[in-house]
Structure 1
Amino acid sequence: MTDFATPQHLARRTCAAIDAAAGAGRDLGLGVTDATVLHDLFSVVVHLAPAPVVARVPTVLPHSTDLDSLARRQQAELDVTWWLADQGTPVIPPSPLVPREPVQRDGFSMTFWQFVEEDPAREPDYAANCEMVADLHAAMRAYPGRLPYLSSAEPRFVTESLALLQNHPDLIGPAELDRARREWQILEPLVRSRAAFEERFPGIDLQPIHGDSPPANIFAGVDRDLYSDFELVTLGPVEWDLAALGPALESAYDRGARRNGMRPLDKDVLGFVNAVGMLRAIACLTLAPQLPPLVEYVKPAIDQWRTMPFAGGMAD
């Protein structure tokens, strides 16, 4: 791993992403005079004002992700959200003003979305959001496109990150890293192989899912709530979308599932996805040189992981 990015480096990266987004927008025929940053963490999200278009430019990426693999993932997101919007599902859709495909410029790969005005005064209601996720799952079941199995778990990233962390006891201690590696030996086969998952969890259906904690990715629009940020859309058990939320929010999802005639969450599968999610959080420490605040963001997850059963009880 490299030295941690300085505030000056982060500012230059943000400016480069803004310039790339504005330039790409103009190349596509948009009148961009006031590019405004709406969000800047793993991606720089830019309103290409006055056009009603938002560009999302990923800037913090695993070392194993290149522009081509990122573009394939982005295309899947565009395809799924366009289909959902066409079915009447409340999502932030791709912009209809530009071609529905990723654009590469100046070392970035970006996507373009319809601008929606946010209601900044509204606080998230995560119980209501979890009920809404069941509605999303019901809508996604009919998606006709092909999606890879549990790609959102990013098994290559986890494997390589656990190896890289060997040289960084400042980020995670040797005993904890040893535990993480032993857990991954148990969990990785079920993440990489659909057949292995189905053998371990018979009767658990797999379907298109959001892939990245949809209760935390419901956009509070001025007119209505909208599902957003399908960057990690994948095929998997619905439990993946509810990982690490706890019993109260799991019960909220189950209420929505019953309303949609769907099965409740399976406790054993929740144990599996919770354990995998924690190892992904640990793997994200390798991104801290690109985004130094990640160390503090990840700390609560690691504290929680210390209290959890080994490998989510999968070793029993």
Structure 2
Amino acid sequence: MSAPARQESAVAAAVAAARTLGLVVEEPRVLYDGFSVVVHLAPSPVVARVPTVLGRTVLADRSAQLRQMRLELQATAWLAGTGFPCVRPAHPEPLQAGGHALTLWELVEQLPDPVTEAESGAVVARLQAALATCPVDLDWLVPLDPSVPDGIVQLADTRPGHVTADDVERALAEWAVLEPWATDPTVHAAVFPDVPVQPVHGDAPFYNVIVTADGVLSSDFEHVGLGPREWDVAGVPAGVRAGYDEAAAELGLPGLDPQVLALCERGRLLQLLAVFPLADAVPGMVDALEPLVAGWRDSPPLTDLRTPLT
């Protein structure tokens, strides 16, 4: 499906789903189009997020997609109920229309003011402190699922100019090492008994923030799940890490474990490799992924969960 057709389909689905709830939608407006299409359902103060660029394992299991959406809505509703600044759900359940699954959120007026790296890092620490007592029964390291090896095996055919057969072989070998830890919390507990786990945002929380007149709001919890705190800090810029460390110390959060952080960073790289087959659908994504692939290629391979990646 072409990008315009995909966007049109997402908007139509958002409007149809909203109207089943009695919302008035007269002038839907696309706010963002990437892996999801985000639509303001004007004049209602509601925004729909419609995932449209999805791997084939996700497309093949709608029930799992809906389950994760439900967990996201539950976790963010709980978080908002504690008073933590985040974008609030506008409806407690995911909706389906036009072949799409989607979620509804309260509209917030975004300001163009930038967030400093130090402040975005501090937001992550405060978010983790708030999420620590979240009672929602979340899944483990949500993005590291069967979509990772499935995406990797597609690389040779979809990215012949960017990824070699040797790259694919190495990536699959690294996933074989990482998979037991990435998919089973009992393995983490056995290998890293002193590294605690808790609910985590799951998807670059330093980046997924919205500046409003009332302050900075955390957003985009699609990958909220259970994991080590290191998962939310994997691969962040140095300024973000400095802001995180300072705020975490003030909040009394334990220090990060270097080896677990390294595993999280390798898991992120494999996750990004796995979305490379979909990159043409998201403007700028190919250019963003190319240097990450080059950096991974130049790094030492992952051969053991306990071996430092230096």
Q: Give the counterpart of 2:124 among 122, 133, 156.
A: 133
Residue 164 of structure 1 is aligned with which of 135, 141, 154?
154
Q: AA paired with 1:297? A: A
Counterpart position of 1:220: 211
Q: Distance in 2 between matches of 1:44 and 1:252?
A: 31
Instruction: Using structure 1 for the length normalisation, give the TM-score.
Output: 0.91
One-letter amino acid matched to 2:21: L
Q: How does 1:1-316 map to 2 (within 5 A)?
A: 9-65=2-58, 66-95=61-90, 99-120=91-112, 122-154=113-145, 156-168=146-158, 169-288=160-279, 290-291=281-282, 293-311=284-302, 314=305, 316=307
Q: Can you give the 5+ residue segments of structure 1 that lack an aligned partner in the other structure?
A: none
* Distance in 2 between residues matched to 1:57 and 1:167, nearest whole Å: 28
CA deviations over 1:74-95 (Å, ceiling 9, x no partner)? 1111000000011000010011
CA contact (8 A) 1:271 1:313 kept: no
Q: Structure 2 unaligned segments of length 5 or more: list them.
A: none
**Sequence identity, in percent?**
37
Which 4+ residue blocks in structure 1 deviate beyond 6 angstroms? none
User: Alpha carbons of 1:236 and 1:119: their partners in 2 closer, same or farther (altered >3 Å)?
Assistant: same
Alignment coverage as a number of residue pairs: 304
Contact 1:171 1:295 in 2 (8 A): no
3-state secondary structure, aligned to 1:215: coil
Paired letter, 1:221: T
Q: Is the deviation greater in 136-145 or in 301-310?
A: 301-310
Structure 1 window deviating more from structure 2 (295-304 vs 53-62): it is 295-304
Counterpart-to-counterpart distance in 2, 1:20 and 1:135:
35
- When the two chains are superposed, the root-mean-square deviation of aligned CA atoms in Å is 1.7
Could you say what secondary structure the match of 2:194 adopts?
Answer: coil
| Aligned residues of 1:152 and 1:233 also touching (Cα < 8 A) | no
**SS of equivalent residue, structure 2 residue 73:** helix
Q: Tell me the TM-score normalised to structure 2 length.
A: 0.93
Q: For 1:74 and 1:139, how far apart are their aligned partners in 2?
A: 20
- 1:61 maps to amino acid: L
